Structure 1
Amino acid sequence: MAKQKYQVTNWPAYNESLRQRGDLTIWVKDEALSLWTARRRTSRGGQPKYSDLAITLCLTL
């Protein structure tokens, strides 16, 4: 099968389509967003920013 050749005539639209090619939109419920930040640590050490739920979600995606 031969490759087809395309002549780009609208470079701004072509560049924008390349930028949007890898976009992924995710809707998260408000209940999940309320659990997004981590609880404050009671022991010594740095404070975590994200909860285990947030980290697990990002790793799953």
Structure 2
Amino acid sequence: MHEQIPIDEPIASLTGDGAYDTKTVNEACHKRGIMPIIPPRKRAQIRKGAAFSARNDSIAACRRFGRDTWKEWSGYHRRSLVEAKMNCF
């Protein structure tokens, strides 16, 4: 990710599917100040460290309110709308 987009280019958020729920992606997002909007894997465990605070919040919200509610609150559903539109092209 950091090699594809110039370091001086601001990025507010990164939306990706569960395949992006990795240590490397979370650390890269933290380093650049990017809010990751990535659904945690089904059996995701809490991780220590500042790089995982958004991920840990997502895990807690999914456990407490359900994945569908988390997806709605986080704006994750916009990802599928974008994918559907891109498929039209």
User: Normalising to structure 2: TM-score of the pair?
Assistant: 0.19
Q: TM-score, normalised by structure 1?
A: 0.23
* Larger RCO: 1 or 2 (CA < 8 Å, sep 6+): 2
The structure that is helix-richer by fraction is 2
**Larger relative strand fraction:** 2
